[in-house]
Structure 1
Amino acid sequence: MITMIAAAGEKNELGKDNGLLWHLPDDFKRFKEMTTSHYIIMGRKTFESFPKPLPNRTHLVITRNKTYAKPGAVVVHSMAEALQISENDSQPFIIGGGEIYKMGLPIADKIELTRVHGTFNDADTFFPEFSKEDWRLISEVEHDKDERHKFSFTYETWVRKEWV
């Protein structure tokens, strides 16, 4: 099962200048719990936005740069190559950025989407639109604003309808 995991604003905003637009500690915790011990597929810019590789995950970095090499990254040059390398993982995760999500949408079986309740006009990266005709929402868990979270948000789990 190929899963895309993301946090996006009400208008599918993901980030700006290769960074996030919000700080949601509980969402980070959920991301860590879900992706630990799995392959995580990302673009070069997403990988370079991390201060260091995320522990207990295999980082597959898609880039067009044939000479790119970084410690902690398995460098690939296509989504197909990333999926081939991760084929023994029961649930590899596609974690971004925007272009990688666009590549992943046609092949993903599941979307774990944290819908951040706000709009962010200065965003420069977006999660791709997906058709509600092709996907079914199977779970929603709301999280209110609190002292650690400036925005309320909802964890949404979507599955491709053809698999349901």
Structure 2
Amino acid sequence: MITHIVAYTKNHVIGRDNAMPWHLPADLAHFKRTTIGKPIIMGRKTFESIGRPLPGRENIVITRDQTFAAEGVTVWHDLSALQPYVDSEEEVFLIGGGELFAQTLPLARRLYVTEIDTVLSGDVHYPEIPSSFQITSETHYDAVEGNDYPFIIRRYDQ
């Protein structure tokens, strides 16, 4: 099963200058809890912004760059490698970036969306969520304990 896990602002910004323009420790803890032990798939720019493979997960990088290699990651050069996961019950997480989210949203069956209660400028955006997705849970967080902004984590299923 293809699952997206993403954080974005009210205007769907997910990044600016290859970074997330916010600091939300509670959301990072949710990300870790949700993805640990599962494969995570990301574009090359997302991998480079993280700077290393994330521990406790199989890290897969999708890139058109045929020469790309990095220690601790599996490299795919084509989205067709996702096909075995589309109808599988095994959950794999797409963690970014914007181009990969847009290309794979039609394949996704579940979304974990952190909606940050602010509007920020950015150069990468998440697409509109199709109406076929329904909210199945949500948790509200205040802007306390190091979190820059209040936010809501929603799970969508279709």
- The corresponding residue for 2:124 is 125
Displacement of 1:51 in angstroms is 2.9
Does the C-alpha gap of structure 1 residues 30 and 3 become closer, same or farther in structure 2, counting only changes over 3 Å?
Answer: same
Q: Is the CA contact 1:114–1:154 (under 8 Å) kept in the aligned structure 2?
A: yes
Q: Deviations over 1:32-56 (max 9, x none)?
A: 0111111101100001111321101
Q: Within 1, Cα distance between the matches of 2:86 and 2:73?
A: 13
Displacement of 1:129 in angstroms is 1.1
Q: Is the CA contact 1:144–1:153 (under 8 Å) kept in the aligned structure 2?
A: yes
Asked if residue 150 in structure 1 is aligned to residue 148 in structure 2, the reply is: yes
Q: Within 2, Cα distance between the matches of 1:115 and 1:135?
A: 15
- The corresponding residue for 1:90 is 90
Gap runs ≥5 in structure 1: none
Q: Is the CA contact 2:85–2:91 (under 8 Å) kept in the aligned structure 1?
A: no
- The corresponding residue for 1:75 is 75
The amino acid that maps onto 2:125 is F
Runs of 4+ that moved beyond 4 A? 85-89
The amino acid that maps onto 1:150 is D
Q: Within 1, Cα distance between the matches of 2:96 and 2:64?
A: 15
Q: Deviations over 1:81-130 (max 9, x none)?
A: 14548987711000000001011100000000000000002x00001112
Gap runs ≥5 in structure 2: none
Q: Is the CA contact 1:42–1:96 (under 8 Å) kept in the aligned structure 2?
A: yes
Seq. identity, %: 36
Aligned-pair RMSD on alpha carbons? 1.7
Q: Is the CA contact 1:62–1:82 (under 8 Å) kept in the aligned structure 2?
A: no
Q: Is the CA contact 2:4–2:93 (under 8 Å) kept in the aligned structure 1?
A: yes
Q: Is the CA contact 2:2–2:85 (under 8 Å) kept in the aligned structure 1?
A: no
TM-score calculated relative to the size of structure 2: 0.94
TM-score calculated relative to the size of structure 1: 0.90
How many residues are paired up?
Answer: 158
Q: Is the CA contact 1:42–1:94 (under 8 Å) kept in the aligned structure 2?
A: yes
